A and B are shown apart, each in its own frame.
Chain A
């Protein structure tokens, strides 16, 4: 049941990633996905009797999500400089 709840949380993140049209909404989806992943790792660690490793792996995932969030905000600012808006469709313009 613990893994099911974590999977549903990650699935909600997938829905948000695909449903939202703005870049900040996309970042919200990635955060939900990371929350589901970290809670799943901790739950599996508890269930598999490797509690320490589950906690530490979850700790690294949570701190890794900070890096992802920082780069996401920087990309949003860059996008706003270039296009004056932050829609997902404008992300392609960052390639050029």
Chain B
């Protein structure tokens, strides 16, 4: 009933809930001293961003985001256990932590402010109206999966090939970087 009274559609409600969860989880992942909870928060943040994508009608992107967030969180857990950081916690005193967090917080807020002001000026210059402040769109306006796939294969085919080649090279390069030191054979 509250949804009807405030004229808030279900899609908008999902959007705002996911946004709040994403921001809260991102802050937790940033400032939590335990790496375990930071990884868990990053996973929750990725799921919430996938929810944001879903509320904007991007089903393919939402599913991709959920899969990558889950696999990424698993990799983070695996590597933190392997590198001995899973149970580690920062033992810095609270006062020193607060002092060391001031400059990064100012930098992050400045970054967000610059991006937001830039997008507002771009919006007013290009569209005239305040287009970037619009409410989240309903899924009826979203393009379906077939359109996205057709556009991906027709218009962005070269980009897709380059992305695939990049991922292949990255996997090979990661194997080379992470190889153990080999002693040179004496000839």
Residues of chain A touching chain B, judged by Cβ–Cβ distance below 8 Å, are 1-22, 24-25, 27-29, 31-32, 35, 38-40, 42-44, 46-48, 51-52, 55-56, 58-60, 62-67, 69-71, 73-78, 80-81, 85-86
Per DSSP, are chain B's interface residues mostly helix, strand or loop, or mixed? helix
Q: Of the candidates A14, A16, A60, A69, which one forms a contact with B75 in the assembled complex, judged by CB atoms under 8 Å apart? A: A69
Contacts of A43 in B (CB 8 A): 56, 132
Residues of chain B touching chain A, judged by Cβ–Cβ distance below 8 Å, are 19, 22-23, 26-27, 29-31, 35, 38-39, 42, 45-46, 49, 52-53, 56-58, 60-61, 64-65, 68, 72, 75-76, 79-80, 82-85, 88, 90, 100-101, 103-105, 107-113, 115-116, 119, 123, 126-127, 131-134, 136-137, 141-143, 147-148, 151-152, 156, 159, 163, 166-167, 170-171, 173-175, 177-178, 180-181
Q: Of the candidates A3, A22, A47, A58, which one forms a contact with B61 in the assembled complex, judged by CB atoms under 8 Å apart? A: A58
Given A9-B49, A58-B61, A80-B83, residue A74 in contact with residue B163 (CB < 8 A): no
CA distance A10 to B52 in the complex (A): 15
Residue of B nearest to A80 (CB): B83
Contacts of A56 in B (CB 8 A): 148, 151-152, 156
CA distance A3 to B170 in the complex (A): 31
Q: Which of A9, A44, A76 has the most CB of B within 10 A?
A: A9
CA distance A38 to B58 in the complex (A): 12
Cβ of A32 and Cβ of B104 under 8 Å apart? Answer: no
